[in-house]
Amino acid sequence: MMTRTVDTTQELAAFLRTRRERLDPDAFGLPRRRSRRTPGLRREEVAELAGVSIDYIVRLEQARGLRPSADVVEALAGALRLAPDERAYLFDLAQQRPRTADKLATTAAAPLARLVADLSPLPAMLLNHRYDILAWNGEIARLLLDFDTLPPPQRNSMWLCLMHPGTREFYADRERVVREAVAHLRAAWAAHPEDRALTDLIAEFTAGDEEFAHWWAERDVKVKGRGRKVLRHPDVGTIAVDFETLTPLQDTDQLLVIYRAADEESQSALDRLSPR
């Protein structure tokens, strides 16, 4: 059940359990006793690795109101061998990572909106942490979708990928694209526990898309700022694009996403999309 906002105590408990259960005892040189009926490490093994008591781990995993210190969070991250994005997520859940004073962005900062326009002919758009599309240029509208034709609540790249009927087959490797987006969204969810609109959006996705619900339950956390996507454009065919995501220092809740053609054929396809 989704709550109206993030219940960090419950989510911390669930995250610690899922990370512990994913660990391979062989990787720690631990014996595979016959009594191991559940996957992963035992609570007492994690406690020993982190230098805390077994009771402390039990209370954390049972969501019994503990708020671990930064030192304990660091020890748990090391014991559970968390990746950097997972470690940051754990710090957010424990409310031990310093937060910026930035307000949640619901409109584009004017200088950034002008920058998006000036980046033409590169396709570019401006997002917030919810994946709301705050500003875009003509090139990305012709590449992805004319966002002007959508009501504002649907101008969200995650909503479009999951819910818009015209984009479901748009990505050649849709599962990877969506899984990465879900993992990024989970990190944003923990970093903004006060954002009720984001929690409502996640609840909508969970109720309306079985794949999202399945991947969200896996609790993968990954912030992916660059990569490659292969698009199936209805007018010009397959286009491979590399993307880069930049965070402005003065508006850290806004994300500038820039696409570039990944090869000559894709550049030719992008050129054909440009007005003559």
State how far the Cα of 224 lies from the Cα of 244, in Å rounded to an integer: 9
Tens-binned pLDDT, residue by residue, of the chain (276 aa): 454 577 889 999 999 999 999 998 888 877 665 566 677 899 999 999 999 999 999 999 999 888 899 999 999 999 999 998 899 899 999 988 765 545 677 889 899 999 999 999 999 999 999 999 999 999 999 999 999 999 998 999 999 988 888 887 899 999 999 999 999 999 888 888 888 889 999 999 999 889 999 999 999 998 888 999 999 999 999 999 999 999 998 888 899 999 999 999 999 999 999 876
Angle in degrees, 0-180, between the axes of helices 70-79 and 84-93, rounded to the nearest 10:
140
Alpha carbon distance 273, 40 (integer Å): 51
HSE, CB side, 13 Å, CA atoms: give it for residue 207: 8
* Separation CA 149–CA 154 (nearest Å): 10
Pair of tokens at residue 44:
């007492």
Four-CA torsion 32, 217, 243, 173, nearest 10 degrees: 80
Beta bridge partners, 163, equal: none
Q: Which of 134, 127, 132, 255 is nearest to 200 (CA)?
A: 132
Residues 94/73, Cβ–Cβ less than 8 Å: yes
